[in-house]
Structure 1
Amino acid sequence: MSSLQQPVGAEADPESPVDDYMPTFFIGHHESKRPLPVTDKVLRQAQDVGYDMLTSPITSPHFHTRVLTLISSYLSAVALVEDSDDSIKNIPPAPIIPPLDPVDTPLTPGDTVGQIIAHSSPWIDLCSVDPLIANISRQVLNIEIAYASFCGVGNIIIPGPRSYTSGSTSNDGLIQYARAIQEALTIAPYLQMAIHIPMYGNEEAKDLTGDLKPFAKNYESTNKEKDIDLFETWDAWNLIRTVCKYNSRLSVALALPRRLPIESLQARWFAEPLRLLSFTPSTFLKNSGGHPVLGKSHQALITRYMRLKQPPWLLLRDVGPIPGLDDPMALNPTADGFPSPSVVIDASRSVSPTPAEAAEIKLKDTHKSKHKLYKDAAAHLIYLRYLQRNQPARTSIEKFGSGYQDYLQSPLQPLTDNLESVTYEVFEKDPVKYDWYERAIAQALSDWAQHGKPTSSSSGAVVIAVCGSGRGPLVTRALQASETTGVAVEIWAVEKNPNAYVLLQRHNEEDWGRVVNVVKSDMRAWKGPLRSAVSHIGQAITTSGTEPVSQYGKVDIIVSELLGSFADNELSPECLDGVQHVLAPQFGISIPSSYTAHLTPIMAPQLHADISRRSLTDPTATETPYVVMLHAIDYLANSVPEHPRIQQAWEFVHPLPASTLAIAEARRSGGVSGGGGGSMSGGDGANEHNTRSARLRFVCKDRGVVNGLAGYFETVLYDGGEAGKVELSTRPDNMAAKSKDMISWFPIFFPLKNPLYFPDDSELEVSIWRQTDDRKVWYEWLVEAYVMVGPDKRMRLGWSEMGTSRKVGCLM
């Protein structure tokens, strides 16, 4: 059984027009010293060139001057007091910035604000160790946030912290910054805020005339170079959003550098809520024609990031003014995605020009025509539009998964719920699963005939029971496997869903030539093929399973698709245990014959935020294992010897030894001395053999946050010995080799109620249990973080709250 369901409003049909989807790049323009205000005329001109939006400062240079004057006056007053001879120094309180005047802001409510991204002042310093500067900076931010919200601005960019030295022993002010952002979020309850943060390192130093930072007491300019900590800026962002409790209105405006960092850091930012990717001229290379282009690695990163469920916007920062504003009659370029080949040819080098080369290029630029200058001013935009038009086609999984990415679904309960036809239909579209099932059945039939095994039918046909037939796709594949191999079969389709039972009968009449025996029954209550009512092969019967009978036969091959996202989470073990009594004891085969569950810790901040919001109205939200197409996540573990990134937790094999089932039955009937509960109170232990537990160790080189566990499975449908195994896998590292492009199952996600932070060079211990009380099955899970403090000694840094899905467990 597949765990895939259709999300509300999602297009699940992979053959739909959404296949022709091409990502749309929403591109904005930012000028640090933009002429103000941004009028309708400016917006129209920007749109004519090809921009979608513009940034605008919230306050004007006049306001900036007013704040500087206020600070200067206050510092002068303080100096007078400190220089006085009075024994009691009456230091005046910190000044309060007066309300805005019209001359203090270029913004006004109106139609234009919908196409404007507000940009808060970069000259404040929320991280300042000087209480005065920190206080003034917070006042400026709050004033700007409140006024932008009043004007109806929907999005605002806030410059990131001025210091990212999270490991410093001094007070670097990150907590102050985070608290200021938390306060700003409460001031404007509908405003989307993006913190502008470099991917790593510090942003380029800019000429910030009137910067508040030098006003700080004991300020010292430090230009000393230090080793770059690649994850330092992410660490700062993590602190900010944690203080803000993963607020859904808080996101990242990520500044892309000229040289991209290691893949693990790119993957880390991919998992974050990205609102914007920002580019400066230094991000680009120059090709042989002198035009700005991006290297292959940047192109790949953009392609990857633009595949997010909510693709980030792109922001060009300080690439020049909008062409044509000074000369409306000039012929302006339009970024239509069809530039000349010389404009977009790959760069011949990957480094910046030398100072002499840069001077020569600048000298040549001064002799270019006015039209060429206009064209140069839009060159970066023209190139991004070209990238948009030339994005690679989506894979089949990306096409099918459109709308499913990071969409949380509760796992199916097929034993207690009768599925709708549309649910069956969605996972029947899988292009791989049923082909592999047909291969497994065909190989089993060929081996059966080759080895001359006796069958359970009087005619010599191999008896196949498709248990949990649904709408019948496996029945069709079993018939095709028989035709391909030339091995005669007798097929029984067993299905408890009364609605699907109707459809199975119709298929039997219209598609299967009435050769299938359709039975309406829970597979665990089915007594087997009704031999007294079968006269010969091909003479099918239809029964509700309630008629009095004289003899029941056995089944040679049981075929089922009961697996969930974690293999056993939809009670495949319990169902196959219950139907095993009809399987021929000597040669009977189960397809699948075995399956294993696999785990890895992941960072999934957006899933955590979603679950946290759900928990406000649903007390079980943080205890539910969700089926989800994991997309915006980061795998935290590194693969090292003996500790791979994804590890097996446990295995189930079918059929079980008869002795195991005999003990289970004895416990169920009270025939085992000392029984009464098994591992969990409340049951008699009849299902004790299906409990499992695992403790897995994962090695993490880079610091991170665990938001939960990603679960996958692998299954051996049939083991043909020397002929090989027919296998399915949802593990991202094995799927391409075993069942490429399979889409029936999305991973399972076991959430942690509270994120667990760990530093560099840590180890994560994952403990997980499959529990049962004979009435339901559930999981319990816990994560611990350790760090090595000696050659053979570890220190536990922390642990998560025990997760348990008992309240939402699968009913047997």
Structure 2
Amino acid sequence: MPACVLPAPKGTTCANYARIPVVKNDGDSMDATSDTLVDSWETWNSFRLLCEHHSQLCVALDILNSLPSENSLARWFGESVRAAIINTHSFLTNARGYPCLSKRHQKLITRFFNHSIQIIISGNSVHPKARLVADVSHNHSVSDSQRHPLRPYLDYVGYLYQKMDPLPEQERFELGYRDFLQAPLQYQRAVCKALLDRVPDEEASVKTTVLMVVGAGRGPLVRASLQAAEETGRKLKVYAVEKNPNAIVTLHALIKLEGWEDIVTIVSSDMRSWNAPEEADILVSELLGSFGDNELSPECLDGAERFLKQDGISIPSSYTSFLQPVTSSKLYNDVKAHKDLAHFETAYVVKIHNAARLAPSQPVFTFTHPKPDKESNDRYKKMHFVIPNDTGSAMVHGFAGYFDATLYKDVHLGIEPSTATPNMFSWFAIFFPLRSPIYVGPGSTLEVNFWRCSGPKKVWYEWCVTSPTPSPIHNTNGRSYWVGL
């Protein structure tokens, strides 16, 4: 048996029902009758807490003819919803007498499809035309599936599925990454603007700009920089600095293939220990992680900026990390399945899909290059997220992290949802889990503390919630998760 749908408990408590008794107890809340309006999410939350967030416990939502607010509905997309039951009484009647749904219901059903939530039609046929079609089908001895009295309702739901917009190419590419390098175009725009600012038109044929790509990898930023030089008609001398010996082999092959031997010098070295033969006009790096600074861009560029001219340009010039509280039963249960502390204190890069974003994201840490003075790369930030009143109660399973970078002037690159670069799948979000999910009520404030810490050999993050319910500080002293220097 793949699944069993149980009736929802009634009333505000469900402790006995959560034990799934095989006989009905007279004191069970199944028998409770109350005029008090109970938030169905509260019932579900009470139930799953009693069952210790069991991964095989899922929700089947009853979809009624009136729907709650958008925010209230949105929180369910972070829960383990497997089915939506639509009663025939929730359907309207169109001008021809056939069943249809309101615009809000249609939008909700489409979201269900996008999250692979099954649709169940329940009840008796209440549309005269629908019954008539079923009777006619019966008289013509068509197959049982076509004769079913609920067939017109099923056909309508099928029609909603058929008229959905096809997934964009990027979404199709990312399908396999849901819950489980397009940077060069933006970089090329940034280098173009920097070259035009650096070299006036009258000097374009005589002045050569020294550009260093630090962390050159297999060459996408080298190519983007040279294409920018060609586009702007500026002369360029490029140093491609890379410490990975495998990438160096690919770089050499690329330079030879493109005939760039006279323009590009390949340097097989760590940028922090390399002694440059000359200073750079422009320093280009792509060391950004999903959380901006989580791949040691600040530390690496600290070592590289010493060979940038006093008036030199760094691309990127700054980047900021962002954080957002989310409900995601899927991600929480995946972490919980490891049955250890370390996985709850680890940050995961993930294409977050089955999640409810409970409040707008907020900035966390900002780094600027060239770095002002000798400021530390350690950081601390306290944030306050307000849960909208019309969301209802929700469970915070962790935090989604993003970044936004200013490459040069008005050229941006990032994945923060409100300003995300279109059609970019080079970075997915990062997920910071909580050991114990935090309950938040409507209108409540979630107080979050975040640290970026460093030692002689590693950099790590620590995080905790201090309100409404205190959590332990996660990853103290980088005991579970760090990045080595």
Match of 1:746 among 417, 428, 445: 428
Query: How do 1:309-708 and structure 2 match up within 5 A?
Result: 311-320=116-125, 330-332=141-143, 374=147, 377-407=150-180, 428=181, 430=182, 433-450=183-200, 460-514=207-261, 515-528=263-276, 552-584=277-309, 586-614=310-338, 616=339, 619-637=341-359, 645-657=360-372, 659-660=373-374, 689-700=376-387, 701=389, 702-708=392-398
2-side partners of 1:212 and 1:592: how far apart?
65
Residue 566 of structure 1: SS of its match in structure 2?
coil
- Tell me if 1:717 matches 2:429: no
Residue in 2 aligned with 1:800? 471
Which residue type is aligned with residue 415 of structure 2? T
Q: Does 1:253 align with 2:60?
A: yes
> Whole-Å Cα distance in 2 between the matches of residues 241 and 464 of structure 1?
57
Per-residue CA distance 1:496-554 (angstroms, 9 max, x = gap): 111110110010011243231111111112111xxxxxxxxxxxxxxxxxxxxxxx211
Letter paired with 2:142:
L
Counterpart for residue 411 of structure 2 = 726
Which whole-Å deviations, capped at 9, do the CAs of 1:184-227 have from their partners, x for residues lacking one? 8xxxxxxxxxxxxxxxxxxxxxxxxxx979x779x9995x755x
Compute the displacement of 1:766 (Å): 0.8
On the 8 A contact 1:449/1:487 being kept in 2, the answer is: yes
Deviation at 1:451, TM superposition (A): 9.3
Gap change, CA 1:220 and 1:487, over 3 Å in 2: closer
- Write the distance in 1 (CA, Å) between the matches of 2:291 and 2:203: 34
- 2:2 — aligned with what? 154
Judging changes above 3 Å, is the alpha-carbon distance between structure 1 residues 220 and 485 closer, same or farther for their aligned structure 2 residues?
A: closer
User: The residue matched to 2:480 in structure 1 has which SS?
Assistant: helix
AA partner of residue 571 (structure 1): L
Task: Measure how far apart 1:769 and its partner are.
Answer: 0.5
Task: Give the aligned residue type for 2:278.
Answer: G
Aligned partners of 1:712 and 1:730 also within 8 Å: yes
Instruction: Please state whether the residue corresponding to 2:4 is helix, strand or coil.
Output: strand
Does the 8 Å contact 1:755/1:800 carry over to 2?
Answer: no
Q: TM-score, normalised by structure 2?
A: 0.90
Which amino acid in structure 2 is aligned with residue 694 of structure 1? K
Q: Call closer, same or farther: CA 1:508–1:159 in 2, change over 3 Å.
A: same
* Within-5 A mapping of 1:262-281: 262-281=69-88
Secondary structure at the counterpart of residue 445 of structure 2:
strand
Once the 2 structures are TM-superposed, how far is the Cα of residue 393 of structure 1 from its aligned partner? 1.2
Judged with a 3 Å threshold, the aligned counterparts in structure 2 of structure 1 residues 377 and 705 are, in CA distance, closer, same or farther, namely: closer
The separation in 2 between residues aligned to 1:375 and 1:751, in whole angstroms, is: 47
C-alpha displacement of 1:268: 0.9
Distance of 2:187 and 2:232 partners within structure 1:
14
TM-score, normalization: structure 1? Answer: 0.55
Aligned-partner Cα distance in 2 for 1:246–1:398: 30
- For structure 2, which runs of at least 5 residues remain unmatched after alignment? 126-130
- Whichever residue aligns with residue 158 of structure 2, its letter is R
Going from structure 1 to structure 2, the CA distance change for 1:466 and 1:609 (only over 3 Å counts) comes to same
Alignment partner, residue 773 of structure 1: 455
Where does residue 811 of structure 1 map in the other structure? 484
Q: CA offset at residue 295 of structure 1?
A: 2.0
SS at match of 1:588: strand
Shift of 1:622: 0.6
RMSD: 2.8
Code of the aligned partner of 2:14: L
Kept after mapping to 1: 8 A contact 2:204/2:235: no
For the Cα contact (< 8 Å) 1:464–1:489, is it kept in 2? yes
- CA pair 577-273 structure 1, distance change in 2 beyond 3 A: same
CA distance in structure 1 between the partners assigned to 2:450 and 2:201 by the alignment = 42
In the aligned structure 2, how far is the partner of 1:518 from the partner of 1:806?
38
Deviations 1:347-382 (A, max 9, x none): xxxxxxxxxxxxxxxxxxxxxxxxxxx475421112
Alignment CA distance shift 1:452-1:653 (3 Å):
farther
Look up the SS of the partner of 1:259 in the other structure. coil
2:430 maps to a residue whose letter is I
What letter corresponds to residue 276 of structure 1 in structure 2?
A
Inter-partner Cα distance in structure 1 for 2:312 and 2:294: 24
Q: Secondary structure at the match of 1:595?
A: strand
Q: Secondary structure at the match of 1:631?
A: coil
Aligned residue pair count: 471
Aligned to 1:755: 437
Cα contact 2:41–2:393 (8 A) shared by 1 = no
Residue of 293, 305, 325 corresponding to 2:112: 305
Shift of the alpha carbon at 1:395?
2.8
CA 1:489 to 1:220, structure 2 compared with 1: closer, same or farther past 3 Å? closer
Q: Give the direction of change, closer, same or farther, for the CA distance of 1:264–1:802 in structure 2 (3 Å limit).
A: same
Distance 1:520 1:212, change over 3 A: closer
- In 2, are the aligned partners of 1:762 and 1:785 still within 8 Å (CA)? no
**What's the counterpart of residue 128 of structure 2?**
none
Fraction of identical pairs, as percent: 38
Structure showing greater relative contact order (alpha-carbon pairs closer than 8 Å, 6 or more residues apart): 2
Cα 1:221–1:566, aligned 2, differ >3 Å: closer, same or farther? closer
Tell me the alpha carbon deviations over residues 139-172 of structure 1, each in whole angstroms, 9 at most, x when there is no partner. xxxxxxxxxxxxxx22111111022xx3xxxxxx
CA contact (8 A) 1:752 1:801 kept: no
Q: Say if 2:14 is the partner of 1:174.
A: yes
What displacement does 1:756 show? 1.3
How far apart are residue 267 of structure 1 and its match?
Answer: 0.6
5+ residue gaps in structure 1?
A: 1-152, 167-172, 185-210, 336-373, 408-427, 529-551, 638-644, 661-687, 720-724, 787-797
Letter in 2 for 1:808: Y
Change (3 A) 1:461 1:316: same
CA contact (8 A) 1:594 1:715 kept: yes
**CA–CA separation in structure 1 for the residues paired with 2:273 and 2:444:** 50
Structure with greater Cα Rg: 1
- 1:764 — aligned with what? 446
Corresponding residue number in structure 2 for 1:422: none
Kept in 2, the 8 Å contact 1:622–1:751? The answer is yes
Choose 296-305 or 247-256, whichever is displaced more: 296-305
Query: Mapping of 1:28-107 within 5 angstroms?
Result: none
Give CA-to-partner distance per residue, 1:656-691, whole Å, 9 cap, x none. 24x52xxxxxxxxxxxxxxxxxxxxxxxxxxx7110
> Which structure features the higher share of strand residues?
2
- Give the CA deviation at 1:773: 0.9
The alpha carbon displacement at 1:404 in A equals 1.1
Query: What CA deviation, in whole Å up to 9, does each residue of 1:372-423 have, x standing for no partner?
Result: xx4754211121222222221113442221011111xxxxxxxxxxxxxxxx
